Structure 1
Amino acid sequence: MTFNPSKRQFLKTSLGTGAAAAMLASFPPSIRRALAIEANNATGTIQDVKHVVMVMLENRSFDNYFGTFRGVRGYGDRFAIPLPNGKTAFYQTDANGNTLTPYHLDETQGNAQRAGGTPHTWPDAQAAWDHGRMDRWPVAKKALSMGYYDNAEIPFQRALADAFTLCDAYHCAMHTGTIPNRLFYWSGSNGPTGDNVAVMVNEFNAGADVGPSTEGWTWKTYADRLQAAGVSWKVYQNVPDNYGCNQMMSFRHWRAEMEKMPVGRKLSNTAGTGVNPPYNPDIDDQYSALAKGFCNTMPDGGFLQSLRDDVLNGRLPEVSWIIPPAEFSEHPGPSSPAKGGWYVQSILDALTASPEVWSKTVLLINFDENDGFFDHSPPPTAPSRNPDGTLAGKSTLSDAQMAYEYFNFPPATAKQPPQDGKPFGPGPRVPMWVVSPWSRGGWVNSEVFDHTSVLRFLEARFGVMEPQISAYRRAVCGDLTSAFNFATPNTETLPVLAGRTTRADATSLTAWQQTRPAILVPATPALPAQATGSRPSRKLPYALHTSARVDAAARTVRLLFANGSAHQAGAVFHVYDKLHLDRIPRRYVVEAGKALDDAWDVNADGGKYDLWVLGPNGYHRTFAGDINEAATTSAEIQVCYNPCKKPTIQVKLHNDSDADVTFTVKALAYRDDGPWTQRVKRGKVELLEWPVADSGNWYDFVVTCAASPAFARRFAGRMETGEDTVSDPAMGVI
């Protein structure tokens, strides 16, 4: 049987059109200017990039900023993980047993811009994540953790995503706070691969409290490697007002270089912008090659004049890091979303001051961690251990390679917490914008990334490797190159944008919000609506498979996980046993070109099973049934991909029974026809073709068997064909 729906049968949703290009005038000037500058396309490769600029902001989760945003994996996710309370991860329970859902931090109703922060260190982050059960956010992080912003509160942040590329599967590196996450960002590790130690909580801030060279971290930074390789680089920061966020200044060998500076060039920890001398390369570089990384390179208080000057005078390095002042870091407390948005707008203004420079520049904007703000997507963390010490899952990586992902290393100092054997991360999702002439058009990229992905992009462009990035991170997290169109960047359709502000407006709004009352948690919880509609979505490197084998004699159900990626993209499969959601979910790490399997004993449940599988970009499988029925009706389903000109999902209906059986296939999204039935003779296999071209290659259907009432197999996700397509059209619809 062949399914051949007409285009009318596809449940269409609103997509962007060419009319958006005609509305370019509605963009704020900073982004309108950036969008209007065509990319350097001399080679059609990553080598056209001559400058990479990075800015890491502070403490926001992806759902906190983009849960209601169109075309990304937000609050409309139909595959939010199941919780023991019978609901999904969107329905959290506080310490008093009350149900909390994400609620709007509405600036018209209270102090949204100044709502404050939540706990965000190793113990409470582990408690909220709860080994992947994701069910303790209000308990561990306070009720405020469930707050989110909408367009009115973060217009520039949303506008930037509508103009360029937003990554909706970008994770912080660890389940913890600022400094360990920034160590991954600056060095690829929190210590295990660097010096066989582990940094778990904040220590050795690197701003106004720089200490002696007898204290600090003891491995290399990526800037050290760039310096040795002859790649130009610089850190743009005000000292002391860098909010302690230049973690390279907390390394002992960096502090030793700072101590070498002569009187008059040494840094003072005294607050104020006029204390430390401006960085002068003709003087300071004579004393230390690292001076451009620790000196006062933005003596105007951090307001980017030196960055603009370098852009206009052809001095922008190949690699640049920008450290915002505390007031504009976006951190709850000293900063606000409005002030952070203005600062990013100013960075873009500086970089586009020279169209020639911007045509060759990539700007990467992310957040160090999520503070304690809720994000519903389970992170691709290494498998946890069960209470009995056994591993909840498996990996195709070796035990030696996986060892770097667990807190079994000595604490780096006496102030760090004791070893607990828990996995470091990656942690929750955080926003990541890829802003460049090669990433225009309001795209979403759903490949799994973390902070090491930024270093891997630098590796890909400049050829300077960071050996401290672990094998696990290299297997599971991409290198950001899938977010770009280097081949034909100047053919992208430009989208619509709004949201420009001024520093005065941002300051005024923040001050007014400080006087407003706290926003109350709604008494009646309700799941917020996500804006419907797709957005253009970059092709992904995944080709994932999960199938089941039911052994009635052994009373087991075995799942087989395979990764057919031809692009070296590994993946983490999360498996939740819906009959035992109190248990730690299993995670399976499968490298490209490899496979593994695992079994569930179903005796304790009288033969029943219900296994719920989740992978990247909405990849989902459900395997439910009763093994007692399998003794007489041996049915199974296998799904294959046919990425031809008219792509289809091939559905193989296996009947190993002694009698004919009838299968029913029902669409759960993307089409409104069906269901369909197919009779399969005993001992035979029938092949069905499920077209996906009209739904942007997305599919979601369930297969049942008349002879086995408990039998159900659900298959959902997006088939990759090597071509760009759209984000999930059913997001927020069903």
Structure 2
Amino acid sequence: MVSLTQYARAVALLAAAAFSTASAENSATGTIKDVKHIVMLMQENRAFDHYLGSMSGVRGFKDPNVKIGDNGLPIWYQPTDSSKADYLLPFYLGANSSYSPGIQCATGGSNDWIENHDAWNNGEINGWVTNNSEYSWGYLRRQDVPTHFAVAEGWTVGDMYTEFLIGPTGPNRASWISGTLNIGGTVGDREVIGGPFIENWFNDECENNNGVLYDCYPLDWDTMPEQLENNNISWFVYRDADSTNDDPMFYFENYKNSNATDPLAAKGLTYAGFPLFLEQAANGTLPEVSWIIGSFPLSEHPPNTPNSGAWIIEKTIEAIENSPIYNETVIFISYDETGGWGDHVPPFVAPNGTAGEWDVDYRDTTQYVPAGPGFRLPFFAISPWSRGGYVFTEPSDHTSQLMFIEKWAAANGKNVTLSTINGWRRDHMSDLTGMFDFTNARSDLPTLTNVSWPHYEDGAYVATSDCQNDNKGLIRPPVPYGEQNITESLWTEDGYKPIRGALTEGRYLVFAMTVRGTDFGLSHAEGEKYIRSAEITDFSSKDFRFIVYQQGDAFSHEFKIKSANSGYLTSTGKFVSSIDNASVFEIDYVASKGYTVKVQGQSTYGAVNPGRYLSFKESPVYFDIYSVTYDD
């Protein structure tokens, strides 16, 4: 008798082989059509600041637009209940070197709906310590997550990618394949199709609070694998047997009720795991779309170690790098939710009452609360078209990966559309195409960190228990109440990254342009009245540094611009002391070209004239923009 795993392996191999042969005959088009394989690996429970807040060139601990609380302090200063200090600043978990090995298996706060909504606190973002955990405000640095830094610096990191829901694993993973959680019952009757899915509860009946039903289970609405199957696009889920409940296909009725030989079961519910992915990558026989659901000890879910997760990340990338299909593959590496680790950027939730976004608070049925989008997560795109150490600045979430698949399928003449994704998410979340320059592929490869295989013994990964046993008493360092200063707490590496995607605030920016082989940038020296252009010899010079302020919300393309040397820019190129008197500039991104800058309502484009003042041209002129991070 053929086992389910053997059957699944045969299905995936045959489908992928047929596609691989056909794709090899196609020539490059310089468009998204050149992507032949999409690989998605989702890890667990880490926040952006927790991993990458100290990285240079991203929206991290040097954010010039950090939210100021009602108390007049930046939200870096989280209120506490401790008698030792009124506020807690972000703190490096490994500041005491005795704890450095043990922080690999440290835990943060809670990932539940309640604690994370209370940390959000109606947009104040001041409840991480009092409403979640004091360890929510702890973070790691390069020496603790070197592979993650290497991936960001080799390809492209997104610093505005968020969880779908301000809440835990199950719901966020369900959104990763379906684009909805049936918030507000907008997809259908919750008693019939399930939801609103907001907690990691998998009971066969609805939860009920004062007649308000939620977490009805199982789920029964459309998913991306079903769309792919209906359009004859090959797909497979590489799920390890010890991945716990991380495979979201197990949440859905259609999969659970499928016969073993039906496509949804044979491709989505098997235990043909990571070894099969490595084998098919080596052969160049991967399906068109792959999901990797790795072993739970490799997931980075605390207390599982980042080093163990780094291994599966690096091996996924190396498998594609060493395969015949690297030059036609995109890998997305994401995280499902924050795990109760803190992040400082306010979630860009939809306006109150938006269909599919707000619902009755199941704790207090007289109140309404947003589901998401939530807090930021680490996110990486690995491909020949995202090579080069870029930072992607567009608001994105788990639906963004689905919309990328839709756009890719449409380019190939396939109508893959998830009606479950609501209009607000479609209008506001990125489809991720701006992460890539499809006209300029790079086949050269960066150097990663050569992660050692996590300790494996008696058929199981034991790195987590090793860490816990070897570092007893030295895993969670004492919280540094009353011992902090802002400079040390918000230390970052120096450096810069070129950016891609629609511009958002939160970074110091350099506007650069190459003219006759020389790099020039917009410049404002201390004491000068007007903006000029000057040759860039050093990205660390404060004269080239600007801060932008979005006019409206996080999705606006209109900005006011401030010099790091003081003063706000006007349409005449003159700097004024008040933001109220500054001009509004429209800054737009064109993939593969760069950024245009126009005065609001005008048709001419800002340009660099070497050594002169800012000028305007009738035709579009494109800037490169760099996000820079320096201590001054």
TM-score (norm 1): 0.63
Q: Which residue is 2:172 aligned to?
A: 181
1:372 equivalent to 2:347? Answer: no
Aligned in 2, Cα 1:436/1:289: closer, same or farther, shift over 3 Å? same
Contact 1:670 1:700 in 2 (8 A): no
Aligned mate of 1:137, from 128, 134, 140:
128
Q: Which residue is 1:292 aligned to?
A: 267
CA distance in 1, matches of 2:585, 2:302: 36
Gaps of 5+ in 1: 1-39, 207-213, 262-284, 299-303, 385-398, 543-615, 621-641, 647-668, 677-687
Q: SS where residue 40 of structure 2 aligns?
A: strand
Aligned in 2, Cα 1:672/1:307: closer, same or farther, shift over 3 Å? same
Q: Which residue is 1:489 aligned to?
A: 441
Note the 1:25-424 alignment, pairs <5 A.
42-96=28-82, 98-106=86-94, 108-110=97-99, 111-192=102-183, 193-197=186-190, 198-204=196-202, 215-239=217-241, 241-257=242-258, 260-261=259-260, 285=261, 287-298=262-273, 304-333=274-303, 335-354=304-323, 356-384=324-352, 402-408=354-360, 420-424=367-371
Cα deviations across residues 291-318 of structure 1 (Å, max 9, x unaligned)? 21001212xxxxx221122223443110
Contact 2:297 2:464 in 1 (8 A): no
CA distance in 2, matches of 1:704, 1:52: 43
Contact 2:568 2:578 in 1 (8 A): no
Aligned in 2, Cα 1:339/1:74: closer, same or farther, shift over 3 Å? same
Q: Which residue is 2:493 aligned to?
A: 531
Aligned in 2, Cα 1:79/1:495: closer, same or farther, shift over 3 Å? farther
Kindly state the Cα deviation for residue 466 of structure 1 after the two structures are TM-superposed: 1.2
Q: Which residue is 2:373 aligned to?
A: 426
Pick the structure with greater CA Rg: 1
Q: SS where residue 98 of structure 2 aligns?
A: coil
Note the 1:396-545 alignment, pairs <5 A.
402-408=354-360, 420-463=367-410, 464-490=416-442, 497-498=448-449, 500-504=451-455, 511-512=466-467, 514-516=469-471, 517=474, 518-523=476-481, 524-526=483-485, 527-538=489-500, 540-541=501-502
- Root mean square deviation, CA, Å: 3.3
Contact 1:205 1:244 in 2 (8 A): no
Aligned length: 501
Q: SS where residue 198 of structure 2 aligns?
A: coil
Q: SS where residue 490 of structure 1 aligns?
A: coil
Cα deviations across residues 508-532 of structure 1 (Å, max 9, x unaligned)? 6872454322211123123321112
Gaps of 5+ in 2: 1-25, 191-195, 205-215, 411-415, 516-521, 537-543, 548-560, 571-575, 595-623
Aligned in 2, Cα 1:80/1:696: closer, same or farther, shift over 3 Å? closer
Aligned in 2, Cα 1:728/1:289: closer, same or farther, shift over 3 Å? closer
Kindly state the Cα deviation for residue 726 of structure 1 after the two structures are TM-superposed: 3.8
Contact 1:205 1:245 in 2 (8 A): no
CA distance in 1, matches of 2:224, 2:583: 42
Identity of aligned residues (%): 29
Contact 1:617 1:717 in 2 (8 A): no
Aligned mate of 1:700, from 562, 566, 572:
562
Q: SS where residue 291 of structure 2 aligns?
A: strand
TM-score (norm 2): 0.72
Aligned mate of 2:526, from 655, 673, 685:
673
Contact 1:118 1:141 in 2 (8 A): yes
Kindly state the Cα deviation for residue 491 of structure 1 after the two structures are TM-superposed: 8.1
Aligned in 2, Cα 1:469/1:643: closer, same or farther, shift over 3 Å? farther
Q: Which letter maps to 2:493?
A: A
Q: SS where residue 321 of structure 1 aligns?
A: strand
Cα deviations across residues 38-60 of structure 1 (Å, max 9, x unaligned)? xx971111111111010110000
Q: Which letter maps to 1:76?
A: K
Contact 1:696 1:726 in 2 (8 A): no
Q: SS where residue 404 of structure 1 aligns?
A: coil
